[in-house]
Amino acid sequence: METGVEEELKLNEEEAQDQILNEEQEVPAGDAQEVVREDAQGAAPEAQAELDKLRAEAEDHKQRLLRAQADFDNFRRRTIKEKEELGKYASAKLITELLPVVDNFERALGSASENAEISSYAKGVEMIFRQLEGVLKAEGLVPMESVGTPFNPEYHQAIMQVESDEYEEGTVVEEVQKGYMLKDKVLRPAMVKVSG
């Protein structure tokens, strides 16, 4: 782009010199030198100013282009990351709704093991529960192991503080409701009792 402008300037200078030569022929010899100086001084600053203006404009356009490219690259990376996260946690809503069912299965199996009369029925229900657990595990659902670990508000929801000789202060003593992780994200924090 700049080379085209420079070529145009050279052509303009050549035309100006040709015009000066033509005028020199008409003007007497002493006046000719003054006319040449005036034309050369007047044409060159105007041409240089125009060239500087065009260069500044070109630089401005170049900077705008670079900013637009950087914005587009950032948008593309952010979109790819959002798509990956969406795919990774697409099943989170369904699994969250299934967690109360899992809790109820565990409670039912806990109470059924106390009654010997319904042991065969309990065995069937336990098989169904294990199958459901397998499906959820394949989706990335992992139960948290909280008892005996230090209390962490990112993973635990403290509902009570209890005195304990067995555990030191700030340690999870009992899990009231199991917490779950979906891949590397907390899906449901564990409800726990913490030693005080």
Q: Cα separations (Å) of 117 from 36, 105, 111?
A: 121, 18, 12
- Residue 143 is predicted with a pLDDT of 92
171: nearest Cα among 161, 182, 159: 161
3-state secondary structure 169-182: CCEEEEEEECCEEE
Q: What is the mean pLDDT of residues 71-85?
A: 92
Q: Tokens in use for 112?
A: 């059924």
- How is residue 24 annotated by DSSP? H
Crossing angle, helix 92-112 and helix 119-138, to 10 degrees? 160
Cβ-proximal residues to 89 (8 Å cutoff; 6+ apart), any chain:
182, 183, 185
Structure tokens at 177: 């409701």
Predicted TM-score (pTM) of this structure: 0.55
- Residues 144, 178: contact at Cβ < 8 Å? yes
Indicate if the pLDDT at residue 4 is higher than 70: no
31 vs 141 pLDDT, higher one: 141
Summarize pLDDT for 92-139 with one digit per residue, the tens.
888 888 888 898 888 888 777 666 677 777 888 888 899 999 999 998
CA gap 37, 186 in Å, rounded = 82
- pLDDT grade for 42, boundaries at 50, 70 and 90: low
The CA dihedral of 121, 126, 128, 134, to the nearest 10 degrees, is -170
pLDDT above 80 (res 1): no
Grouping H, G, I as helix, E, B as strand and the rest as coil, residue 119 is helix
Separation CA 186–CA 152 (nearest Å): 12
